[in-house]
Structure 1
Amino acid sequence: MIKEVLVVEGKMDVVAINKAVEADCIITEGFNLSPRCLDDIEKAYKKRGIIILTDPDSAGERIRKYVSRRFPKAKHAFVPVKDATANNDIGIEQASPDAIRKALEKVRTLDWEPGNNFTGADLIRAGISGGAAASEKRARLGARLGIGYANAKTFLNRLNHYGVSREEFETALAEEDKANELKS
Protein backbone atom coordinates (compact mmCIF):
# COMPACT_ATOMS: atom_id res chain seq x y z
CA MET A 1 0.00 0.00 0.00
CA ILE A 2 1.33 3.40 -0.97
CA LYS A 3 1.34 5.73 2.03
CA GLU A 4 0.49 8.88 0.07
CA VAL A 5 -2.84 9.48 -1.64
CA LEU A 6 -2.71 9.70 -5.43
CA VAL A 7 -4.39 12.68 -7.09
CA VAL A 8 -5.75 11.64 -10.49
CA GLU A 9 -8.14 13.07 -13.05
CA GLY A 10 -10.82 10.43 -13.51
CA LYS A 11 -12.51 7.21 -12.41
CA MET A 12 -10.84 5.16 -15.11
CA ASP A 13 -7.44 6.34 -13.85
CA VAL A 14 -8.30 4.74 -10.51
CA VAL A 15 -9.19 1.48 -12.28
CA ALA A 16 -5.79 1.48 -14.02
CA ILE A 17 -3.95 2.32 -10.79
CA ASN A 18 -5.73 -0.44 -8.89
CA LYS A 19 -4.39 -2.94 -11.45
CA ALA A 20 -0.86 -1.74 -10.70
CA VAL A 21 -0.65 -0.91 -6.99
CA GLU A 22 -2.66 -0.67 -3.84
CA ALA A 23 -3.31 3.02 -3.22
CA ASP A 24 -6.02 5.46 -2.21
CA CYS A 25 -6.94 8.01 -4.86
CA ILE A 26 -8.71 11.36 -5.08
CA ILE A 27 -10.38 12.14 -8.40
CA THR A 28 -10.28 15.74 -9.61
CA GLU A 29 -12.84 15.14 -12.39
CA GLY A 30 -10.59 16.98 -14.82
CA PHE A 31 -10.03 20.63 -14.02
CA ASN A 32 -13.30 20.74 -12.08
CA LEU A 33 -11.53 20.76 -8.69
CA SER A 34 -14.62 21.50 -6.65
CA PRO A 35 -14.28 22.94 -3.13
CA ARG A 36 -15.03 19.47 -1.75
CA CYS A 37 -12.30 17.91 -3.92
CA LEU A 38 -9.77 20.54 -2.82
CA ASP A 39 -10.78 19.96 0.81
CA ASP A 40 -10.23 16.20 0.37
CA ILE A 41 -6.82 16.84 -1.22
CA GLU A 42 -5.87 19.21 1.62
CA LYS A 43 -6.83 16.64 4.28
CA ALA A 44 -4.82 13.93 2.52
CA TYR A 45 -1.89 16.32 2.01
CA LYS A 46 -1.75 17.16 5.71
CA LYS A 47 -2.32 13.62 6.99
CA ARG A 48 -0.54 11.29 4.53
CA GLY A 49 0.93 13.38 1.74
CA ILE A 50 -0.13 13.33 -1.91
CA ILE A 51 1.37 12.22 -5.21
CA ILE A 52 0.08 14.03 -8.27
CA LEU A 53 -0.34 11.59 -11.16
CA THR A 54 -2.14 13.45 -13.92
CA ASP A 55 -2.37 12.66 -17.62
CA PRO A 56 0.69 13.55 -19.72
CA ASP A 57 -1.20 16.15 -21.76
CA SER A 58 -1.80 19.89 -21.53
CA ALA A 59 -4.91 19.53 -19.35
CA GLY A 60 -3.06 17.21 -16.97
CA GLU A 61 -0.17 19.64 -16.78
CA ARG A 62 -2.52 22.55 -15.93
CA ILE A 63 -4.06 20.48 -13.13
CA ARG A 64 -0.59 19.48 -11.88
CA LYS A 65 0.56 23.14 -11.76
CA TYR A 66 -2.60 24.29 -10.00
CA VAL A 67 -2.46 21.55 -7.35
CA SER A 68 1.31 22.08 -6.93
CA ARG A 69 0.83 25.76 -6.15
CA ARG A 70 -1.78 24.97 -3.48
CA PHE A 71 0.18 22.05 -2.04
CA PRO A 72 3.88 22.82 -2.55
CA LYS A 73 5.24 19.71 -0.83
CA ALA A 74 3.22 17.37 -3.04
CA LYS A 75 5.14 14.62 -4.76
CA HIS A 76 4.96 14.10 -8.52
CA ALA A 77 4.90 11.00 -10.70
CA PHE A 78 4.94 11.08 -14.50
CA VAL A 79 3.87 8.35 -16.90
CA PRO A 80 5.62 8.92 -20.26
CA VAL A 81 3.35 9.87 -23.17
CA LYS A 82 4.28 6.73 -25.12
CA ASP A 83 3.26 4.55 -22.15
CA ALA A 84 -0.02 6.43 -21.63
CA THR A 85 -1.25 6.35 -25.22
CA ALA A 86 -3.66 3.79 -26.65
CA ASN A 87 -6.72 3.82 -28.89
CA ASN A 88 -5.99 7.41 -30.00
CA ASP A 89 -6.26 8.59 -26.40
CA ILE A 90 -3.74 9.80 -23.83
CA GLY A 91 -4.23 9.27 -20.13
CA ILE A 92 -3.29 7.35 -17.04
CA GLU A 93 -6.20 5.03 -17.79
CA GLN A 94 -4.35 3.96 -20.97
CA ALA A 95 -1.14 3.08 -19.10
CA SER A 96 -0.14 -0.47 -18.30
CA PRO A 97 0.27 -1.55 -14.68
CA ASP A 98 4.03 -1.77 -15.28
CA ALA A 99 4.18 1.82 -16.61
CA ILE A 100 2.27 3.08 -13.55
CA ARG A 101 4.56 1.19 -11.17
CA LYS A 102 7.66 2.57 -12.93
CA ALA A 103 6.30 6.13 -12.65
CA LEU A 104 5.62 5.67 -8.94
CA GLU A 105 9.15 4.31 -8.41
CA LYS A 106 10.54 7.62 -9.73
CA VAL A 107 8.46 10.01 -7.61
CA ARG A 108 9.94 13.51 -7.37
CA THR A 109 9.31 16.45 -5.07
CA LEU A 110 9.10 19.95 -6.48
CA ASP A 111 11.73 22.24 -4.97
CA TRP A 112 10.35 25.76 -4.63
CA GLU A 113 13.89 27.04 -4.25
CA PRO A 114 15.28 25.51 -7.41
CA GLY A 115 18.90 25.10 -8.23
CA ASN A 116 20.43 26.45 -11.38
CA ASN A 117 22.29 23.25 -12.17
CA PHE A 118 21.14 23.19 -15.77
CA THR A 119 20.94 25.78 -18.54
CA GLY A 120 19.61 25.88 -22.07
CA ALA A 121 23.16 25.21 -23.26
CA ASP A 122 23.08 21.86 -21.44
CA LEU A 123 19.95 20.91 -23.36
CA ILE A 124 21.50 21.86 -26.69
CA ARG A 125 24.74 19.96 -25.92
CA ALA A 126 22.66 16.91 -24.93
CA GLY A 127 20.71 17.09 -28.18
CA ILE A 128 17.39 17.60 -26.44
CA SER A 129 16.79 21.13 -27.66
CA GLY A 130 17.14 22.76 -31.05
CA GLY A 131 17.61 19.63 -33.13
CA ALA A 132 15.42 17.62 -35.45
CA ALA A 133 15.04 14.67 -33.07
CA ALA A 134 15.26 16.72 -29.85
CA SER A 135 11.61 16.29 -28.88
CA GLU A 136 11.73 12.49 -29.09
CA LYS A 137 15.05 12.27 -27.24
CA ARG A 138 13.73 14.66 -24.57
CA ALA A 139 10.67 12.43 -24.10
CA ARG A 140 12.85 9.33 -23.65
CA LEU A 141 15.22 11.16 -21.29
CA GLY A 142 12.27 12.52 -19.29
CA ALA A 143 10.99 8.96 -18.87
CA ARG A 144 14.42 7.78 -17.67
CA LEU A 145 14.64 10.63 -15.15
CA GLY A 146 11.01 10.35 -14.02
CA ILE A 147 10.15 13.95 -14.93
CA GLY A 148 7.91 13.25 -17.91
CA TYR A 149 7.70 14.76 -21.35
CA ALA A 150 7.81 18.54 -21.77
CA ASN A 151 8.88 21.18 -24.24
CA ALA A 152 12.48 22.38 -23.82
CA LYS A 153 11.64 25.30 -21.53
CA THR A 154 9.47 23.19 -19.20
CA PHE A 155 11.99 20.34 -19.29
CA LEU A 156 14.75 22.71 -18.16
CA ASN A 157 12.44 23.99 -15.42
CA ARG A 158 11.77 20.42 -14.25
CA LEU A 159 15.47 19.54 -14.23
CA ASN A 160 16.12 22.49 -11.92
CA HIS A 161 12.96 22.14 -9.80
CA TYR A 162 12.69 18.37 -9.27
CA GLY A 163 16.12 17.83 -7.79
CA VAL A 164 17.75 16.10 -10.74
CA SER A 165 21.47 15.92 -10.09
CA ARG A 166 24.12 16.44 -12.74
CA GLU A 167 25.20 12.81 -12.19
CA GLU A 168 21.64 11.51 -12.72
CA PHE A 169 21.32 13.59 -15.87
CA GLU A 170 24.66 12.43 -17.31
CA THR A 171 23.92 8.78 -16.48
CA ALA A 172 20.48 8.91 -18.09
CA LEU A 173 21.95 10.68 -21.12
CA ALA A 174 24.67 8.05 -21.48
CA GLU A 175 22.07 5.26 -21.20
CA GLU A 176 19.96 6.96 -23.85
CA ASP A 177 22.91 7.41 -26.20
CA LYS A 178 23.96 3.79 -25.69
CA ALA A 179 20.42 2.57 -26.42
CA ASN A 180 20.42 4.62 -29.65
CA GLU A 181 23.79 3.18 -30.69
CA LEU A 182 22.46 -0.35 -30.24
CA LYS A 183 19.49 0.47 -32.51
CA SER A 184 21.81 1.71 -35.27
Structure 2
Amino acid sequence: MRKKIKETIVVEGRDDITAVKAAVDAELIEVNGFAVRKKTTLEKIRNAQERTGVIILTDPDFAGEKIRKTIEDYVPGVRHAYIGRKDGTRLKDGNIGVENASPEVILRALQDAKCKLIDRNDIFTPLDMLEYGLVGGDDSKEKRQRLGLELGIGYGNGKQFLAKLNHFGITKEEFFNAMKK
Protein backbone atom coordinates (compact mmCIF):
# COMPACT_ATOMS: atom_id res chain seq x y z
CA MET A 1 0.00 0.00 0.00
CA ARG A 2 1.29 3.46 -0.90
CA LYS A 3 2.13 5.84 1.94
CA LYS A 4 -0.20 8.84 2.38
CA ILE A 5 1.52 12.21 2.38
CA LYS A 6 -0.03 15.23 4.13
CA GLU A 7 1.65 17.88 2.00
CA THR A 8 0.69 18.82 -1.53
CA ILE A 9 3.43 17.96 -3.99
CA VAL A 10 4.20 20.35 -6.84
CA VAL A 11 5.56 18.79 -10.05
CA GLU A 12 6.28 20.02 -13.56
CA GLY A 13 4.08 17.84 -15.75
CA ARG A 14 1.62 15.02 -16.27
CA ASP A 15 4.24 12.26 -16.51
CA ASP A 16 5.65 13.42 -13.16
CA ILE A 17 2.17 13.05 -11.62
CA THR A 18 2.02 9.46 -12.84
CA ALA A 19 5.44 8.68 -11.34
CA VAL A 20 4.65 10.30 -7.98
CA LYS A 21 1.22 8.63 -7.77
CA ALA A 22 2.99 5.27 -8.24
CA ALA A 23 5.08 6.07 -5.14
CA VAL A 24 2.69 7.83 -2.74
CA ASP A 25 -0.91 8.84 -2.12
CA ALA A 26 -0.88 12.64 -2.19
CA GLU A 27 -2.52 15.68 -3.71
CA LEU A 28 -0.46 17.05 -6.59
CA ILE A 29 -0.31 20.32 -8.47
CA GLU A 30 1.06 20.29 -12.00
CA VAL A 31 2.64 23.61 -13.05
CA ASN A 32 3.19 22.80 -16.75
CA GLY A 33 6.82 23.89 -16.75
CA PHE A 34 7.34 27.63 -17.03
CA ALA A 35 3.57 28.21 -17.00
CA VAL A 36 4.22 28.22 -13.24
CA ARG A 37 4.45 32.00 -13.60
CA LYS A 38 0.66 32.24 -14.04
CA LYS A 39 -0.89 34.00 -11.07
CA THR A 40 -3.66 31.39 -10.81
CA THR A 41 -1.10 28.58 -10.53
CA LEU A 42 0.94 30.43 -7.92
CA GLU A 43 -2.22 31.23 -5.92
CA LYS A 44 -3.21 27.56 -6.00
CA ILE A 45 0.24 26.69 -4.59
CA ARG A 46 -0.06 29.42 -1.95
CA ASN A 47 -3.45 28.07 -0.84
CA ALA A 48 -2.03 24.54 -0.65
CA GLN A 49 0.89 25.84 1.44
CA GLU A 50 -1.54 27.42 3.90
CA ARG A 51 -3.73 24.30 4.16
CA THR A 52 -1.33 21.34 3.95
CA GLY A 53 2.18 22.57 3.28
CA VAL A 54 3.92 22.16 -0.08
CA ILE A 55 6.85 20.09 -1.24
CA ILE A 56 8.36 20.92 -4.64
CA LEU A 57 9.67 17.97 -6.66
CA THR A 58 11.00 19.17 -10.00
CA ASP A 59 13.43 17.72 -12.52
CA PRO A 60 17.14 17.80 -11.60
CA ASP A 61 18.00 20.30 -14.32
CA PHE A 62 18.21 24.06 -14.96
CA ALA A 63 14.49 24.41 -15.75
CA GLY A 64 13.56 22.55 -12.56
CA GLU A 65 15.69 24.93 -10.49
CA LYS A 66 14.12 27.99 -12.17
CA ILE A 67 10.64 26.64 -11.39
CA ARG A 68 11.63 26.06 -7.75
CA LYS A 69 12.93 29.63 -7.47
CA THR A 70 9.76 31.11 -9.02
CA ILE A 71 7.56 29.25 -6.54
CA GLU A 72 9.79 29.98 -3.55
CA ASP A 73 9.79 33.71 -4.33
CA TYR A 74 5.98 33.76 -4.40
CA VAL A 75 5.26 31.21 -1.66
CA PRO A 76 7.83 31.37 1.14
CA GLY A 77 8.31 28.34 3.34
CA VAL A 78 7.79 25.60 0.77
CA ARG A 79 9.97 22.52 1.18
CA HIS A 80 12.06 20.86 -1.49
CA ALA A 81 12.47 17.21 -2.46
CA TYR A 82 15.34 16.33 -4.76
CA ILE A 83 16.18 13.38 -6.92
CA GLY A 84 19.69 13.01 -8.29
CA ARG A 85 20.45 13.30 -11.98
CA LYS A 86 21.47 9.64 -12.07
CA ASP A 87 18.18 8.51 -10.51
CA GLY A 88 16.18 10.73 -12.88
CA THR A 89 17.91 9.79 -16.13
CA ARG A 90 16.36 7.32 -18.56
CA LEU A 91 19.20 5.12 -19.82
CA LYS A 92 17.96 4.48 -23.38
CA ASP A 93 17.90 8.16 -24.42
CA GLY A 94 19.38 10.24 -21.56
CA ASN A 95 16.08 12.01 -20.83
CA ILE A 96 16.20 13.62 -17.38
CA GLY A 97 13.12 14.02 -15.20
CA VAL A 98 11.10 13.01 -12.17
CA GLU A 99 9.05 10.75 -14.44
CA ASN A 100 12.10 8.47 -14.86
CA ALA A 101 12.69 7.95 -11.12
CA SER A 102 11.57 4.77 -9.39
CA PRO A 103 8.85 4.89 -6.72
CA GLU A 104 11.51 4.10 -4.11
CA VAL A 105 13.65 7.07 -5.16
CA ILE A 106 10.64 9.40 -5.12
CA LEU A 107 9.54 8.22 -1.66
CA ARG A 108 13.07 8.64 -0.31
CA ALA A 109 13.26 12.19 -1.74
CA LEU A 110 9.94 13.10 -0.11
CA GLN A 111 10.99 11.60 3.22
CA ASP A 112 14.27 13.54 3.02
CA ALA A 113 12.14 16.69 2.61
CA LYS A 114 10.49 15.75 5.92
CA CYS A 115 7.06 14.99 4.50
CA LYS A 116 4.43 13.98 7.02
CA LEU A 117 3.07 10.47 6.59
CA ILE A 118 -0.53 10.36 7.73
CA ASP A 119 -3.31 7.98 8.59
CA ARG A 120 -6.15 10.04 7.21
CA ASN A 121 -9.74 9.50 8.23
CA ASP A 122 -11.76 11.00 5.42
CA ILE A 123 -14.56 13.38 6.42
CA PHE A 124 -16.34 13.35 3.06
CA THR A 125 -17.62 10.22 1.28
CA PRO A 126 -18.91 9.43 -2.20
CA LEU A 127 -22.40 9.49 -0.70
CA ASP A 128 -21.86 13.13 0.38
CA MET A 129 -20.91 13.99 -3.18
CA LEU A 130 -24.18 12.54 -4.42
CA GLU A 131 -26.28 14.01 -1.62
CA TYR A 132 -25.02 17.56 -2.22
CA GLY A 133 -25.38 17.33 -5.99
CA LEU A 134 -21.66 17.35 -6.75
CA VAL A 135 -21.98 14.20 -8.86
CA GLY A 136 -24.81 12.66 -10.82
CA GLY A 137 -26.69 15.83 -11.73
CA ASP A 138 -26.90 17.96 -14.85
CA ASP A 139 -25.29 20.86 -13.01
CA SER A 140 -22.80 18.86 -10.90
CA LYS A 141 -19.77 19.99 -12.88
CA GLU A 142 -20.72 23.64 -12.48
CA LYS A 143 -21.34 23.14 -8.74
CA ARG A 144 -17.88 21.58 -8.30
CA GLN A 145 -16.30 24.44 -10.25
CA ARG A 146 -17.98 27.12 -8.11
CA LEU A 147 -17.40 25.27 -4.83
CA GLY A 148 -13.75 24.56 -5.70
CA LEU A 149 -13.23 28.24 -6.43
CA GLU A 150 -14.93 29.28 -3.19
CA LEU A 151 -12.90 26.80 -1.11
CA GLY A 152 -9.65 27.54 -2.96
CA ILE A 153 -9.06 23.91 -3.90
CA GLY A 154 -9.65 24.13 -7.64
CA TYR A 155 -11.76 21.98 -9.94
CA GLY A 156 -11.80 18.22 -10.30
CA ASN A 157 -14.09 15.50 -11.54
CA GLY A 158 -16.20 13.83 -8.84
CA LYS A 159 -13.48 11.44 -7.63
CA GLN A 160 -10.75 14.08 -7.73
CA PHE A 161 -12.94 16.64 -5.97
CA LEU A 162 -13.76 14.21 -3.17
CA ALA A 163 -10.03 13.53 -2.70
CA LYS A 164 -9.32 17.29 -2.59
CA LEU A 165 -12.01 17.92 0.02
CA ASN A 166 -10.45 15.31 2.28
CA HIS A 167 -6.80 16.05 1.50
CA PHE A 168 -7.06 19.77 2.16
CA GLY A 169 -8.82 19.13 5.45
CA ILE A 170 -11.98 21.01 4.51
CA THR A 171 -14.29 20.93 7.50
CA LYS A 172 -18.03 20.34 7.26
CA GLU A 173 -18.53 23.93 8.46
CA GLU A 174 -16.30 25.35 5.70
CA PHE A 175 -18.09 23.12 3.20
CA PHE A 176 -21.57 24.25 4.24
CA ASN A 177 -20.58 27.94 4.33
CA ALA A 178 -19.15 27.65 0.81
CA MET A 179 -22.25 25.77 -0.40
CA LYS A 180 -24.47 28.62 0.87
CA LYS A 181 -22.54 31.11 -1.23
Q: Structure 2 length normalisation: TM-score?
A: 0.58
Deviation, 1:108, is: 6.1
1:61 pairs, out of 65, 71, 82, with: 65
Equivalent residue runs for 1:1-184 within 5 Å:
1-33=4-36, 34-86=38-90, 87-107=93-113
Q: CA separation in 1, counterparts of 2:78 and 2:97?
A: 20
The root-mean-square deviation of aligned C-alpha atoms, in Å, is 1.4
Partner deviation per Cα, 1:28-72 (whole Å, 9 max, x = no partner): 100112222112111101111100111000000000111111122
> 1:83 aligns to what SS in structure 2?
coil
Which of the pair has the greater relative contact order for Cα pairs under 8 Å at 6+ separation? Answer: 2
Partner deviation per Cα, 1:77-111 (whole Å, 9 max, x = no partner): 001110000032100001111110111110069xx
Q: Structure 1 length normalisation: TM-score?
A: 0.57
Paired residues, number: 109
- In structure 2, stretches of 5+ residues that fail to align are 116-181
Q: CA separation in 2, counterparts of 1:55 and 1:99?
A: 13
- Identity level (%): 43
Give 1:75's aligned amino acid.
R
Asked if the contact 2:89/2:97 (under 8 Å) is kept, the reply is yes
- In structure 1, stretches of 5+ residues that fail to align are 110-184
Farther off after superposition, 49-58 or 34-43? 34-43
